[in-house]
């Protein structure tokens, strides 16, 4: 299984940098030179500055229209770089990481996703994006709504991470982002590490690709972990990984099409009966009625870890909130603009031509 991680913008490149730390092939793209310099693990030759002619390397100031333009202007240079990284062996999945509420990532990621789909039709393009915090105000929400719309037409799946859900109240924002980024990478990296491991009931890349090939709908990752000697009921732990508190997104899991579960732990505790009990309950619960599973007995392991992927989700409060707020804002903005135009007309109609006053 070969995954290539491409981070776009500040949030996206920070997340991609953490993937590089755990040995994934990663590329960083940004309009801000200083943000690229700040990365630690992606090698310098894999950090690409775009839109220099547009912004002079100073970023796009959270404007996705400029982010889109920067990506378009330098797209051929980027695709050449990606081509050279890909080389002669196929990439199964391109993961694009970014923040939905900013400019470079929000504007650039959909342009890059479209170009990748065209150039590599057999690979999947999966977006991994952080949704803005409510307290950030209206602009990031609008940027997110625009990007949700554009990506849903080009990406195969969108793994949306709701910062609101993962940030604890009162927590410092920089620390919260750091923690959220680690959580994202830990979960996704541990799932990817389990794909294509030889074994009797393991997951392979075709299972993962089947599940993620979900026509631009939303996906989420769940997780549950416990010390092996404290797990009395494995079935319960598996169900926990699908519960709302374990997921990245407020979502109705019953609206999901596909699921995938990887269970890793000491062999004597991975009891088939418990696993099948949980999985048959969950399979009945989701709309698409298909859950792929992988068991990874490991005698050295002292913990049981369950990673879950749910895809094809179309009912999510996190997403609906953003789209509804953006729509309401657009409607009230258009109304306010019309009212201002009318007022202006009313005020100025009948005003004579004063040219005569200044002969």
Point out which residues bind ligand GDP (CB under 6 A).
9-12, 14, 60, 62, 67, 99, 101-106, 130, 132-133, 136, 140, 163, 177, 180-181
Q: How far does Cα 143 stand from its chain's mean position? A: 14
The distance of closest approach from Cβ of residue 333 to ligand GDP in the complex, given in angstroms and rounded to an integer, is 20
The distance of closest approach from Cβ of residue 237 to ligand GDP in the complex, given in angstroms and rounded to an integer, is 26
CA quadruple 140, 144, 147, 149: dihedral, nearest 10: -140
- Distance, in Å, from the CA atom of 248 to the CA atom of 251, rounded to the nearest integer, reads 9
The distance of closest approach from Cβ of residue 20 to ligand GDP in the complex, given in angstroms and rounded to an integer, is 15
Residue closer to ligand GDP by CB (options 12, 312) is 12
The CB-based long-range contact list for 51-54 (8 Å cut-off, 24+ gap) reads 51/104
- Distance, in Å, from the CA atom of 55 to the CA atom of 34, rounded to the nearest integer, reads 13
Residue closer to ligand GDP by CB (options 106, 249) is 106
Residue closer to ligand GDP by CB (options 157, 163) is 163
Residue closer to ligand GDP by CB (options 103, 265) is 103
The distance of closest approach from Cβ of residue 153 to ligand GDP in the complex, given in angstroms and rounded to an integer, is 20
Residue closer to ligand GDP by CB (options 123, 163) is 163
Contact between 233 and 265 (Cβ < 8 Å) = no
Contact between 180 and 166 (Cβ < 8 Å) = yes
What stretch of H or E contains 3?
strand 3-8
Residue closer to ligand GDP by CB (options 247, 261) is 247
The distance of closest approach from Cβ of residue 108 to ligand GDP in the complex, given in angstroms and rounded to an integer, is 7
Residues ≥6 apart with Cβ < 8 Å to 72: 111
Concatenate the DSSP letters of all residues of 154-182 into one string: H-SEEEEEEHHHHSPTT--HHHHHHHHHH
The distance of closest approach from Cβ of residue 331 to ligand GDP in the complex, given in angstroms and rounded to an integer, is 23
């Amino acid at each position: 299984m070969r995954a290539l991680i491409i981070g776009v913008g500040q949030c996206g490149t920070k997340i991609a940098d953490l993937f590089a730390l755990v040995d994934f092939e990663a590329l960083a793209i940004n309009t801000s030179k200083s943000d690229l310099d700040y990365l630690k693990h992606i090698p310098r030759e894999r950090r690409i500055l775009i839109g220099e002619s547009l912004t002079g390397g100073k970023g796009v100031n959270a404007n996705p229209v400029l982010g889109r333009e920067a990506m378009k202007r330098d797209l051929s240079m980027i695709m050449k770089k990606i081509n050279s990284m890909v080389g002669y062996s196929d990439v199964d999945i391109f993961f694009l990481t970014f923040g939905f509420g900013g400019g470079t990532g929000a504007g650039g990621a959909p342009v890059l996703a479209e170009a990748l789909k065209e150039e590599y039709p057999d690979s999947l393009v999966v977006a991994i994006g952080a949704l803005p915090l409510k307290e950030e105000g209206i602009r990031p929400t609008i940027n997110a709504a625009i990007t949700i719309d554009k990506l849903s037409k080009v990406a195969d799946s969108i793994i949306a991470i709701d910062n609101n859900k993962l940030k604890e109240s009162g927590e410092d924002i920089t620390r919260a982002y750091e923690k959220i980024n680690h959580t994202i990478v830990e979960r996704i990296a541990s799932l990817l590490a389990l794909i294509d491991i030889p074994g009797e009931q393991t997951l392979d890349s075709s299972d993962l690709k089947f599940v993620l090939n979900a026509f631009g709908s939303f996906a989420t990752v769940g997780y549950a972990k416990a010390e092996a000697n404290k797990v009395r009921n494995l079935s319960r732990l598996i169900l926990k990984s699908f519960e709302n508190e374990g997921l990245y997104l407020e979502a109705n899991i019953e609206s999901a099409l596909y699921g995938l579960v990887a269970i890793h732990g000491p062999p004597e505790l991975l009891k088939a009966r418990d696993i099948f009990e949980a999985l048959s309950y969950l399979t009945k619960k989701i709309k698409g009625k298909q859950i792929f599973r992988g068991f990874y007995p490991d005698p050295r392991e002292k913990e049981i870890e369950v990673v879950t992927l749910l895809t094809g989700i179309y009912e999510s409060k996190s997403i609906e909130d953003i789209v509804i707020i953006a729509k309401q804002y657009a409607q009230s903005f258009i109304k306010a603009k019309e009212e201002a135009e009318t007022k202006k007309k009313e005020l100025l109609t009948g005003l004579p031509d004063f040219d005569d006053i200044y002969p």
